[in-house]
């Protein structure tokens, strides 16, 4: 099998797994910066990280996020909890958000714009 030219392999990056895709590591580092009580979207993370990233790449990374990454703070562009099925229970993502003061009804963040954290504005 030929190696993927677009995939950068790393032996070890901090406490992350050997062979972790470097793009995934970058996603995790941005997600760790999302403040408690705020959320961001897959697309906003991709936009901040730039060329070579898209919302789908961020979504794939989030499916493999380590325990120290607050994955519950990443939602889709309309505030829907599309990643909820990758938590231990389908309600766990909403429970974590509500515990941080973010209102969730029927797997949708209420007043989404009020809680949206945009890395390109906050970190630059």
Under a CB-based contact definition with an 8 Å cutoff, are residues 29 and 58 in contact?
Answer: no
Tens-digit pLDDT profile for residues 29-83: 999 999 999 999 999 999 999 988 899 999 999 999 999 999 999 999 999 999 9
- Residue 41, SS3 per DSSP: strand
Output the pLDDT for position 8. Answer: 36
Distance CA 12, CA 26 (A): 13
Q: Is residue 16 assigned to a domain? A: no
Q: Is the pLDDT of residue 17 over 70?
A: no
Q: Is residue 13 assigned to a domain? A: no
Q: Is the pLDDT of residue 4 over 90?
A: no
Output the pLDDT for position 124. Answer: 77
- Overall domain count for the chain: 1
| Residue-averaged pLDDT of the chain | 87
Distance CA 12, CA 8 (A): 12
Question: In this structure, what CATH number is given to the domain that contains residue 82?
Answer: 1.10.10.10
DSSP class of residue 11 equals: S
Q: Is residue 17 assigned to a domain? A: no
Domain that holds residue 54: 22-119
Q: Is the pLDDT of residue 12 over 70?
A: no
């Amino acid at each position: 099998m030929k190696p993927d030219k677009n995939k950068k392999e790393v032996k070890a990056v901090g406490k992350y797994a050997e062979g972790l895709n470097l793009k995934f590591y970058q996603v995790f580092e941005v997600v760790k910066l999302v403040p408690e009580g705020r959320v961001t979207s897959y697309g906003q993370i991709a936009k901040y990280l730039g060329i070579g990233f898209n919302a789908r790449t961020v979504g794939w990374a989030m499916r493999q996020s380590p325990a120290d990454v607050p994955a519950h703070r990443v939602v889709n562009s309309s505030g829907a909890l599309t990643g909820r099925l990758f938590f231990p229970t389908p309600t766990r993502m909403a429970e974590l958000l509500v515990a941080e003061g973010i209102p969730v009804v029927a797997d949708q963040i209420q007043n989404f714009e009020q809680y949206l954290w945009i890395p390109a504005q906050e970190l630059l």
